[in-house]
Amino acid sequence: MNVEEILKHKVFKQIDEAVSVGQYNKAYGLMSMETPIEWTTLGTSDISGQQYRYLPIDVLEALMDRIFGYCGWNDESETFITQTNSSATVTTTVNVIYGFVSIKRSKSGVASVYVEDNFHWKDGKMILHTNSKPIKAMQQLTTATPLSLTEAKKNAIKNIANLFGRNLNRNIIEALPVIQVEEKEKAEPDIIILKKYSNACEQGDEQTKKEIEDNYKIL
């Protein structure tokens, strides 16, 4: 079910009616209804392998816009980065402020995204974990930081009421935010590359060998 179809649910009209006559507690009470299963997306836990249901961030933001209006909610965030020689953790705290007219409430959510170098050194040689070029953890922060922000915002909005998915997955650990390093497809070597590789092996030219092995399918 897409967002447009979700927003046609009768609960939104009921909330509008309660707010229009100043019955704000009733409006919040209507949000205690369980999340309709057809609103959700199916995921698989990285920890247990169990499947679980969740509301994507675009659906959550659409629900907030529909219920509280585009000026009726906002979020504030703080991001902290901790790093070691080969890894980094991005932790974001988001405080979502929401409510009707001047009566505001807030909920907080926290999320962390861990990234690490996609290689390690052994006996003086670089060992790649994927087929891509070496990537340091800190180079992945441009992806890790917005992912951490999104996950923290989702957690904050979920805490508002059951309608936003608060009761989903009570006993399941959901998928962890993971940065995927894009893998590069290696090319088939031609006779020139094979000759160059053979010469590098004979001469002990490790740098040339490594460059060829990173980019070509060398048996």
Q: What's the rounded Cα separation, in Å, for the pair 29 and 43?
A: 28
| DSSP single-letter state for residue 38 | G
Share of the chain above pLDDT 70, in %: 81
Indicate whether 94 pLDDT > 70. Answer: yes
CB distance 104 to 98 below 8 Å: yes
Mean pLDDT, the chain, whole residue set: 83
* Mean pLDDT across 154-175: 83
What are the residue ranges of helices labelled H in the chain? 3-6, 10-20, 24-30, 57-68, 141-158, 191-203, 206-215
pLDDT at res. 129:
63
The secondary structure element, H or E, covering residue 43 is: strand 41-44
The type of residue at 31 is M
Distance CA 202, CA 199 (A): 5
Give the Cα separation of 219 and 213 in Å (integer).
9
Beta bridge partners of 165: none
pLDDT tens for each residue of 99-138: 887 778 899 999 888 887 766 666 767 666 665 666 777 7
Residue 149 pLDDT > 70: yes
**Main-chain phi, psi angles of 203, to 5 degrees:** -90, -5
48-52, 80-84, 131-135, range with the lowest pLDDT: 131-135
In the chain the domains, ranked by start, together with CATH numbers, are 3-184 (3.30.390.80), 186-219 (no CATH)
Q: Is the pLDDT of residue 168 over 80?
A: yes
| Confidence label for 29 from pLDDT (cuts 50, 70 and 90) | very high
Beta strands in 56-137 (DSSP E): 73-83, 87-100, 103-116, 119-122, 125-128
Tokens representing 156 are 């904050």
State the pLDDT at residue 183: 47
Tell me which residue has tokens 């705290």: 93
What is the per-residue pLDDT for 71? 66
Question: How confident is residue 146, by pLDDT bands cut at 50, 70 and 90?
Answer: confident
Higher-scoring residue by pLDDT: 123, 166: 166
Confidence at residue 174, expressed as pLDDT on a 0 to 100 scale: 62
Residue that is written with structure tokens 């979700």 in the block: 6
